[in-house]
Amino acid sequence: MNIYFGVQATGNGHISRCRELVSKLEQHGANVDVLLSGRGRYCGEIIPEFGRYDYREGLTLHSEDGKVNFAKSVYKNNFHRYRRDIKALDVSSYDLILTDFEPLSARAARRAGKPVISISNQNSLLYPKIGDRLKAIDKTFLKKFIPADQYIGLFYHHFGQPVLPPIMYLAEKIDRRAPDGRLLVYLPFEHPVSISKALLGLDASFDIFHPSVRSPTVQDNCNWWPISMDKFSERFSHSEKVICNAGFGLTSEALNANLELLVKPVARQPEQLANAAALEKQNLAAVELGELTNTSVERFISEGVPGKPEVQYPDVASGVARELVNEGRIDLNKLSKELWS
């Protein structure tokens, strides 16, 4: 089977689960070519598993200072180029188009009459109990943004819906080591000044990964690191606590590794707000909806998440790959029951 896989490369969570899924698809005999969009042209350099890949600018939401900036999202996205790229993208030689919230591949597949399967955390918000906080217009946007024949949702818990557990990447790549007392911080949508104000002066040490950092820097009790999968994995393996936005990828990996979480969802971002609500409802994380402060971080350091249940997710990528290669689509009711049992 020849598969063209469109990956929304804006978020590292999309990238991590897709590199795992690509690996499992190839193990099951599929030939997979990858399209990356929504990030810089050389984003593939941090994704060696993808090997050769296509790149397009695509579309993405722009966030700054902890919230989505809708005006800048409209201004920064090049819609003329987007439409031109849809027309130019040739997917006629593929049996199946797979997309993780990547719109170009889905639109090109529609033009070519090819089957499209969408797999993402965002798709889980289309279901009751998970996406109840979303307005009807938001759910309509999700389907218009990514037109597909089948929508596969990934979420922390099924809530009685045919969604799948998260796809893990770090679980197979790192060995948990003795915690060294440092906290891991990944808040890419927050301004570095805001992060510093919340962390400096506390009786704790932090490893902060941020896209604005170009070289390692020490600032009192804070070590600042540029984005690096190797270094991030190393620090993750030594951590007991994580402070992050409410993106699905890292929060899932932290839960699977039994780490305590303090999450700050990006304001005006429906997916992150829904993720945070679910984590809080299940007592899986401490949630801060306002600004992070010395007080809120200090409380998390001292109290953690009392009574947090342990979570262990199954090998979802293998199950998805098996079904896609053998059947060309997924029986969600069947696979969901199998993976959550």
- Asked whether 324 and 27 are in contact (CB, 8 A), the reply is no
Sorted by where each starts, the structural domains of the chain and their CATH numbers stand as 2-168+314-340 (3.40.50.2000), 170-303 (3.40.50.2000)
Which tokens in the block code for residue 90? 């040739």
Q: Could you report the per-residue pLDDT of 77-129, keeping only the tens digit for each?
A: 666 777 888 898 999 999 999 999 999 999 999 999 999 999 999 999 999 99
DSSP 123: G
Query: What is the residue whose two structure tokens read 């033009």?
Result: 111
**Ranges in the chain, pLDDT < 70:** 11, 39-52, 57-79, 172-173, 176
Contacts of 311 (CB under 8 A, 6+ apart): 156, 255, 256, 258, 284
- Determine the Cα–Cα distance for residues 221 and 199; give it in Å rounded to an integer: 8
CA contacts within 13 A on the Cβ side of 154? 25
Position 44 scores a pLDDT of 43
Residue 333's Cβ-count burial label (10 Å; 0-12, 13-18, 19+) is: exposed
Position 42 scores a pLDDT of 45
Position 45 scores a pLDDT of 47
The neighbouring-strand residues paired with 35 are 6, 54
- Determine the Cα–Cα distance for residues 262 and 280; give it in Å rounded to an integer: 10
Which tokens in the block code for residue 249? 């990828």
- Determine the Cα–Cα distance for residues 335 and 115; give it in Å rounded to an integer: 20
Position 69 scores a pLDDT of 45
Q: Which of 260, 332, 250 is nearest to 301 (CA)?
A: 260
Which tokens in the block code for residue 319? 């199950």
